[in-house]
Chains A and B, each alone.
Chain A
Amino acid sequence: MNKTLNNKAWWLVLPVFLMVAFNALLPLMTVVNYSIQETFGNNEFFWSGTTWFEQILHDGEFHASLKRQLIFTGLILLIEVPLGLVIALCMPRNGPWVSVCLVLVALPLLVPWNVVGSMWNIMALPDIGLLGKGINALGITFNYTRQPISAWFTVVLMDVWHWTSLVVLLCYAGLVAIPDAYYQAAKVDGARPWAVFRYIQLPRLKHVLTIAILLRFMDSFMIYTEVIVLTGGGPGSTTKFLSIDLVQKALGGFDLGPAAAFSIVYFLIILFLSWLFYTLMMREEAK
Chain B
Amino acid sequence: MAEIRIENLRHSYSANPQSDEDFALKRLSITWQDGGAYALLGPSGCGKTTLLNLISGLLTPTEGKILFDGKDVSNASPEERNIAQVFQFPVIYDTMTVYDNLAFPLRNRGVPEGEIKIRVAEIADMLELTKTLHKRASGLTADGKQKISLGRGLVRPDVNVIMFDEPLTVIDPHLKWQLRSKLKELHLRTKRTMIYVTHDQTEALTFADQVVVMNLGEVVQAGTPIELFERPQHTFVGHFIGSPGMNVLPCEVRGGKAVFAGMPVDVANIQSAGNRGRMEIGVRPEFVSIARAGISADVVRVADAGRYRIVETRSHGHTIKLLLKEGEEVPQSTTFLAFDPSHTQIYEDGWIAGAHR
Is the C-beta of A58 less than 8 angstroms from some C-beta in chain B?
Answer: no
* B104 cross-chain contacts in A, Cβ below 8 A: 189, 191, 195, 199
From A179, A185, A192, A195, contact of B85 by CB (8 A): A185
Of A181, A190, A203, A287, which one neighbours B87 at CB under 8 angstroms? A181
Select B79's contact among A181, A187, A195, A203, beta carbons within 8 Å: A187
In angstroms, Cα B152 to Cα A184, docked, is: 13
Task: Judge if A1 is at the interface, Cβ distance under 8 Å.
Answer: no
Residues of chain B lying within 8 A (CB to CB) of residue A192: 108
In the assembled complex, A208 has its CB within 8 A of some CB on chain B: no
A205 CB, nearest partner CB in chain B, Å: 12
Q: Are A182 and B95 in contact (CB under 8 A)?
A: no
Instruction: Please give, as numbers and ranges, the residues of chain B lying within 8 Å of A103 by CB-CB distance.
Output: none
Asked if A188 and B108 sit within 8 Å, CB to CB, the answer is no
Chain A contacts for B94, CB-based, 8 A: 203
> Cβ of A229 < 8 Å from any Cβ of B?
no
A200 at interface, CB cutoff 8 A: yes
Q: With an 8 A cutoff between CB atoms, is B271 at the interface?
A: no
Chain B residues near A182 (CB-CB < 8 A):
91
- B89 lies within 8 A of chain A by Cβ: yes
Chain A residues with CB under 8 Å of B136's CB are 287
B108 touches A179 (CB 8 A): no
B87 touches A187 (CB 8 A): no
Please determine whether A188 and B89 come into contact, CB atoms closer than 8 angstroms.
no
Task: Say yes or no for B56: interface residue by CB 8 A criterion.
Answer: yes
- Chain B: residues with Cβ within 8 Å of the partner, total of 26
Q: Are A190 and B108 in contact (CB under 8 A)?
A: yes
Using A190-B109, A192-B108 as known contacts, say yes or no to A181 and B88 having CB atoms under 8 A apart.
yes
Contact code string A188-218 (vs B, CB < 8 Å = 1, else 0):
1111100100011001000000000000000
Q: B165's closest neighbor in chain A, by CB?
A: A181
Q: Is B96 an interface residue (CB 8 A)?
A: yes
Which residues, 32 to 84 on B, are CB-close (under 8 Å) to A? Answer: 53, 56-58, 77-79, 83-84
Alpha-carbon gap, A65 to B58, bound state (A): 56
Q: Is the CB of B105 within 8 A of A199?
A: no
Q: How large is the interface on A (under 10, 10 to 19, 20 to 34, 35 or more residues)?
A: 10 to 19
User: Cα distance A195–B109 when bound, in Å?
Assistant: 12
Contacting A at CB under 8 A, from B77-134, are 77-79, 83-85, 87-89, 91, 93-96, 104-105, 108-109
Using A187-B78, A189-B152, A203-B95 as known contacts, say yes or no to A181 and B108 having CB atoms under 8 A apart: no
Contact at B96–A188, with CB atoms within 8 Å? no
- CB-nearest residue of chain B relative to A179? B89
B215 at the interface (CB under 8 A from A): no
CB-based contact A191/B108 at 8 Å: yes
- Residues of chain B within 8 A (CB-CB) of A203 are 93-95
> How near does chain A come to B53, taking the closest CB pair, in angstroms?
8
Listed residue (B53, B57, B87, B136) with the most chain A CB atoms within 10 angstroms of its CB? B87
Contact of B149 with A by CB under 8 A: yes
Could you tell me the distance between the alpha carbons of A161 and B10 in the complex, rounded to whole angstroms?
A: 49
The answer to whether A187 touches B93 (Cβ under 8 A) is: no
A277 to B77, CA, bound (A): 42
Q: Which of A130-182 contact B (CB under 8 A)?
A: 179, 181-182
Q: Which of the residues A185, A188, A199 comes within 8 Å of B95, measured between beta carbons?
A: A199
Do residues A199 and B56 form an inter-chain contact, with CB atoms below 8 A? no
B138 vs chain A, min Cβ distance (A): 9
Nearest neighbor of B81 in chain A, beta-carbon distance: A188
Query: Which of A185, A188, A191, A199 has the most chain B CB atoms inside 10 A of its CB?
Result: A188
Contacts of A191 in B (CB 8 A): 104, 108
Which residues of chain A are within 8 angstroms of B85 by Cβ–Cβ distance? 184-185, 188
Whether the pair B78, A188 counts as a contact (CB closer than 8 A) is yes
Q: Smallest CB–CB gap between B346 and chain A, Å? A: 44
| Chain B min CB distance to A208 (Å) | 16
Which chain A residue shows the least CB distance to B58?
A: A184
Selected A-B contacts with CB under 8 Å, 23 pairs:
A179-B89, A181-B88, A181-B89, A182-B91, A184-B58, A184-B78, A185-B85, A185-B87, A187-B57, A187-B58, A187-B78, A188-B78, A188-B83, A188-B84, A188-B105, A189-B105, A190-B109, A191-B104, A199-B93, A199-B96, A199-B104, A203-B93, A203-B94
6 nearest interchain CB pairs?
A: A185-B91, A190-B108, A189-B105, A181-B87, A190-B79, A203-B95
Beyond A185-B85, A187-B77, A189-B105, list 20 extra A-B contacts (CB 8 Å): A181-B88, A181-B89, A182-B91, A184-B53, A184-B87, A184-B91, A185-B91, A185-B149, A185-B152, A187-B78, A187-B79, A188-B84, A188-B153, A190-B108, A190-B109, A199-B95, A199-B104, A203-B94, A203-B95, A287-B136
